[in-house]
Amino acid sequence: MSAARGRFLTVEGIDGAGKSTHVSWLEKTLRARGHEVLLTREPGGTALGESLRKLLLAEPMDADTETLLMFAARQASLVEVIAPALARGAWVISDRFTDATFAYQGAGKGVAEDKLAVLERWVQGDLQPDLTLLFDVDVKVARERLKNAREPDRFEREGGAFFERVRAGYLERAAKDPQRIRIVAAGETPEHVQSQLEIYISNI
Ligand SMILES: Nc1ncnc2c1ncn2[C@@H]1O[C@H](COP(=O)(O)OP(=O)(O)O)[C@@H](O)[C@H]1O
Ligand SMILES: [Mg+2]
């Protein structure tokens, strides 16, 4: 990593954990510190990626197809958006990244971890986020939040048992890489969530 390279932050967690809400806060806070900040999301981030997002959030498909489309969108986003931004010194915040595939398609839908690891290596090489903020929250709390917030997409329509597996998958991944993946107690008030984020971003 050259000295000029920016930082790559990812935000993870089950639907309704508060990722998108707090990504905006992170963006504002890091800009106020003088960084160029690029905000992106997965799937999405490029014209192609946003088209794939529409398909992924609406169209029924098997779990392997879903996995491959997720990685296709990720590849495009890395090449077109994330890598160039990091190279010019920007801080990139991505609302979800590869940990989400391990949690949703892996733990949630049973796609084998070794297949995911091959795709991760293919698309990312050695690149990993500098910091991943894992918004961890009780599944019932997250579902209650979503009920009041929006019409559910194809993923958000999954049942509670699915989200329990996804949550457990995220926590297992965090246990394997505790330096990179920091757990945020996301069931707390927004103010308390932000104070946890403050501490984590001050250390990178
Ligand atoms: N800490 C929090 N406490 C209470 N409600 C929250 C909190 N964080 C987010 N919310 C609300 O929960 C809903 C889902 O938040 P969102 O940021 O869209 O979650 P995600 O992007 O993880 O799916 C929104 O209505 C949001 O206002
Ligand atoms: Mg969101």
**Ligand minimally distant from the alpha carbon of residue 19:** 1
pTM, entire model: 0.96
In a domain, 3, yes or no: no
* Ligand 2 centre distance from Cα of residue 18 (Å): 7
Q: Return d(Cα 140, Cα 149) in angstroms, integer.
A: 14
What is the total count of domains within the chain? 1
Q: Whose CA is nearest to atom 24 of ligand 1?
A: 149
Q: Do residues 21 and 146 touch, judged by C-beta distance below 8 A?
A: no
pLDDT of 124 over the 50 cut: yes
The domain in which residue 145 lies consists of 8-202
Whose Cα sits closest to atom 1 in ligand 1? 190
Average pLDDT over residues 25-44: 96
Residue 100 lies in a domain: yes
Q: What is the dihedral of CA 27, 72, 177, 169, to 10 degrees?
A: 100
- 3-class SS shares of the chain: helix, strand, coil, % to 5: 55, 15, 30
Cα of 21 from ligand 1 centre, angstroms: 6
Q: How confident is the model at residue 3 (pLDDT cuts 50, 70, 90)?
A: very low
Q: Which listed ligand is nearest to 21 at the C-alpha?
A: 1
- pLDDT digits over 173-194, tens only? 999 999 999 999 999 999 999 9
Residue with the nearest Cα to atom 16 of ligand 1? 18
Instruction: Say what the pLDDT of residue 4 is.
Output: 58
Residue 204: the pLDDT is 86
CATH number at residue 154: 3.40.50.300
Q: How many angstroms does the Cα of residue 117 sit away from the middle of ligand 1?
A: 30
Mean pLDDT of 24-38: 96
